[in-house]
Amino acid sequence: MADHRGVAGREYRVTLLDYRDTGLSSAAAQPYSEIEDLAAVLAAVPVTSAVLVACSDGARRALAYAHRYPNAVRRVVVVGGSFGEFPDPTPEEAMARQEIRDLVKRREHALATTGIYADAEIDIDAWGPALNADDRRLMIGLHVANSYYTALEDYLGTELDPPVNTRFNEITTPVTVLAGEHDFTATQLWAHRIANQAPNARLHLLPGADHFPMLSQPRQFEHHLRQALARHAGPTARS
């Protein structure tokens, strides 16, 4: 957790969360609720009204939390949101998901024949084609450090039921959606789904950015994040 100076000189408390089975968190030993884990972290801080900034699969969890606890969330900033298979996909969506499946096959082959570093290189190069050399090396290292996730026999986390990717139209919380022009087509199509279905969502496509706009286009990312925070400038905006 860190405090820093935010929009127009305001202070914002930033709480960083590793979900179980990701980052520096340990592997889960028993089933758990993704939503209630987030609720427990915010209660422990404590934060009663948050701006959630969520990247990739984290966006699924953040939107699910906002769906269950709308009064506890001021806004969700979705960054390259990843939501798996499309319900009732259009032909374009089905083709885009096949691109992801092909990547998974290439990664599995690399992992089996060459090892985890080759797997990490393929994955980061696919998701982060706009990264500079230093950030590419950083992301590959983080991928390798978190590689135990790929060896999990069972993922024990439970999500919103029915899943949030079928319930965007029920999310009343304001949503800012950020998608990089060099991200996978499937990610961009998910961004359009959220913007089209959630009643209070706005989409921003980021030129030159990939799945990691905070690295590939940091100024654009910061601009949109500051705008999102400025819209909720009460006594203290928190994320």
Q: How do residues 119-147 score in pLDDT, each as one tens digit?
A: 999 999 999 999 999 999 999 999 998 88
Domain of residue 213, CATH code: 3.40.50.1820
In a domain, 141, yes or no: no
Lowest-confidence segment of 58-72, 125-139, 153-167, 174-188 by average pLDDT? 153-167
In a domain, 146, yes or no: no
Residue % of the chain over a pLDDT of 90 = 76
In a domain, 152, yes or no: no
In a domain, 98, yes or no: no
In one letter, which amino acid is 163? P
In a domain, 44, yes or no: yes
**Rounded distance between C-alpha atoms, residue 153 and residue 21, angstroms:** 12
In a domain, 14, yes or no: yes
Domain that includes residue 52, residue range: 2-87+159-238
Total domain count, the chain: 1
- What's the pLDDT score for residue 233? 61
CA dihedral 21, 126, 76, 35 (to 10 degrees): -20
**Rounded distance between C-alpha atoms, residue 57 and residue 155, angstroms:** 14
In a domain, 129, yes or no: no
| Rg, the chain, Cα only | 18
Q: How do residues 7-39 score in pLDDT, each as one tens digit?
A: 444 678 889 888 888 777 777 889 999 999 999
**Rounded distance between C-alpha atoms, residue 136 and residue 129, angstroms:** 9
Q: What pTM was estimated for this model as a whole?
A: 0.90
Residue tagged 């940091």 (tokens): 218
